[in-house]
Structure 1
Amino acid sequence: MSGGQPWHNGFSGNKKAPQETVFQRWEIGRFSQIAMNKKGDVSVNFEIVLEEFSEKLKVLEPLCIKIRKILFPYDKDASVNIGTPAGESDQLYKPIIVAYDQAICEL
């Protein structure tokens, strides 16, 4: 099994693609299992996801952390909120665009 698209697009430097990655759990299996894997990785195991970035993509970690906080904020009980909040879609889009703009300016 491949180690992910970045490894095949030259973003891995001289390293070989890993045989197994957390991202494989996001694309292989039944929909319900894939959804549970993603939910667990985004809410509990996010550090494991970041560890799987190739060296050249490590610069994107702060952006990914910001986007995670926007899309999956913690509620008052310190649980990760999963799902689209009610209301205007701009409540998600605007902060994400700002996060991308900031990341681009920092490159």
Structure 2
Amino acid sequence: MGRNRKKKFAYRPSDRVVSRASAVSAFLGIVGIVGYGLLIAGSFYSEGNGGVIYGLAGWAILIMSIVGLRLSIKSFEDTASMVIWKIIGCTTNGLVLVFSAIIFILGI
């Protein structure tokens, strides 16, 4: 006799399934956007003299967005879960990556 096994890779906030990878990627993307906002505000507040701390925080946000984008792309393999969180994760992490590329190209 087979047992009913619950999916261990998904959350169920309602009757719809949200995959863990897409939820984590959306969270990382939102944290990246908020983090860049805080870095910009802190840089303006310190009049551009933020030092190494702001640079290291920028690198950390870049690495978080790469991990989040990888998770969101990987979450598209799970077809049983909701697509909206996968799209939110891809979009937010993609925006953070594009913003990081612009900052590095301009040399700000």
Same fold? TM cut 0.5? no
TM-score, length basis structure 2:
0.27
TM-score, length basis structure 1:
0.27
